[in-house]
Amino acid sequence: MNAKPFLDTNILIYAFASNDPRSEEAEALLAAGGMISIQVLNEFVNVSRRKLRREWPEIEEALSVLRTILDPPIPLTIEIHEAAVGLARNSGFSFYDSLIIAAAIRAGCRILYSEDMQDGQTVDGMTLRNPFA
């Protein structure tokens, strides 16, 4: 198992947010290092652009920071896609959450930090943790 945690998109969003009470905890998680996937990066760009209305240079700067402090992202592969389909079918997770869970399992992470999933739930030996709970 990988000792580094896997970080969901919301951790990255809060780490780069302004005036959000979750930012300090999210920044600490990023500073400690961890794993993400291409799916997480894609969601980060989409939320930053559409919901937060960030400009491209600001988004690209944040992506550069993420590449510097985190491990290389886990690619989206057919194996991860197929595992996500199975997770979504069998567990009731949304398909996009299942993609993140499948990537975290593939990376061998023991912990997935996410605000969006049930804190303490275990999936294939990996524990979901809400750091803001």
Query: Does residue 27 fall inside a structural domain?
Result: yes
Structural domain total, the chain: 1
Contacts of 54 (CB under 8 A, 6+ apart): 48
Query: Residue 95: inside a domain, yes or no?
Result: no
Residue 3 pLDDT class (50, 70, 90 cuts): confident
Domain range spanning residue 19? 6-74+109-129
pLDDT in tens, 97-123: 999 999 999 999 999 999 988 899 999
The pTM score is 0.94
Task: Classify residue 97: in a domain, yes or no.
Answer: no
Residue 101 lies in a domain: no
pLDDT in tens, 16-62: 998 899 999 999 999 999 999 999 999 999 999 999 999 999 999 99
Q: What is the pLDDT of residue 19?
A: 84
What separation in angstroms does the CA of 56 have from each of 21, 49, 67?
25, 8, 16
pLDDT of residue 116: 87
